[in-house]
A and B are shown apart, each in its own frame.
Chain A
């Protein structure tokens, strides 16, 4: 059974940093693209970032480019999202989602999300 478990969310002040983690199990992690998607309270889904299976290729939404960094450790079956210079508008539930073997494949399995609240 595919499982994705996010952690690392919490309350952070504007300008602060946070690193999210996503522990994957139930599939061959090193063979899949992985993505981060966020959802602000009461709002829609926003694709944030993606990384290919071996970590050599990354993509970001324009709104987080230069601010967020995606990474992965295939030995630990874990995906990360380093978030810096956080703003109030970054407040959201952050979901980790499995892509496919290619970047164009849509996310299929999703974790339950971790809430990030940016507030003073």
Chain B
């Protein structure tokens, strides 16, 4: 149950795109199409942005997109906006009804 690996930080100017990686193993990210991404603003609860690798919950802008290749999943935020500045966490199903989160990435809008 080791945490998935994410870069500590990422940044981009308004209107640009930023991509965050999430690396796991064949026992979690690579083994299941149950990767999710969460956005967390300071002092707030996480908010689901992407589920099942690339699906967006109702109300999430289509600027947010997800993908997966092998043991690495990615979240891309296109057309960066000031309100996108937050911490982002990936999560994956890890078998036996357990889940594992990523180490988190702080996204800064320059």
Contact B46 A108 (CB under 8 A): no
User: Could you tell me which residues of chain A, from 62 to 97, have a CB within 8 Å of some CB in chain B?
Assistant: 62-63, 95
Query: Which single member of A44, A47, A52 contacts B103 (CB below 8 Å)?
Result: A44
A108 & B101 in contact (Cβ 8 Å cutoff): no
Q: Does chain B have a CB within 8 A of A13?
A: no
- Name the contact of B36 in the complex, choosing from A50, A106, A109 (C-beta under 8 A): A106
Interface contact B103-A106, CB-CB below 8 Å: no
Which chain A residue has the least Cβ–Cβ distance from B97?
A103
Q: Does residue A110 face the partner (Cβ distance < 8 Å to B)?
A: yes
Are B34 and A106 in touch, CB under 8 angstroms? Answer: yes
Please, how many angstroms separate the alpha-carbon atoms of A99 and B71 in the complex?
23
Q: What distance in Å separates the Cβ of A65 from its nearest Cβ neighbour in chain B?
A: 10
Q: How far is the CB of B80 from chain A (nearest CB, A)?
A: 22
State the CA gap A113–B1 with chains docked (Å): 23
B57 at the interface (CB under 8 A from A): yes
**Nearest B-chain residue to A46, judged by Cβ:** B101
Cβ–Cβ contact B46 & A110, under 8 A = yes
Give per-residue flags for A104-115: 1 if the beta carbon is below 8 A from chain B beta carbons, else 0. 111111111100
Q: A50-B99, A59-B96, A106-B93 are in contact. Are A44 and B48 (CB under 8 A)?
A: no
Q: Cβ of B36: which chain A residues have Cβ within 8 Å of it?
A: 106-107
Q: How does the 8 Å CB contact mask read for A17-42 relative to B, with 1 for contact and 0 for none?
A: 00000000000000001010100000
Q: How far is the CA of A63 from the CA of B89 in the complex (A)?
A: 20
Query: A44 and B99 in contact (CB under 8 A), knowing A62-B1, A106-B48?
Result: no
- Please tell me if the beta carbons of B45 and A111 are within 8 angstroms of each other in the complex: yes
Q: Does B64 contact A (CB under 8 A)?
A: no
Contact of A104 (CB < 8 Å), options: B34, B38, B47? B34
List chain A residues, Cβ under 8 A from B34. Answer: 104-106
**A104 B104 Cβ-Cβ under 8 A:** no
Say whether, besides A44-B3, A44-B102, A104 and B97 are in contact (CB < 8 Å).
yes
Cβ 8 A contact of A108, one of B51, B89, B102: B51
How far is it, in angstroms, between the C-alpha of A109 and the C-alpha of B99 when the chains are bound? 15
> CA–CA, A59 to B52, complex, Å?
21
A96 to chain B, nearest CB (A): 10
Given A44-B89, A105-B34, the answer on whether A50 and B98 have CB atoms closer than 8 Å is yes
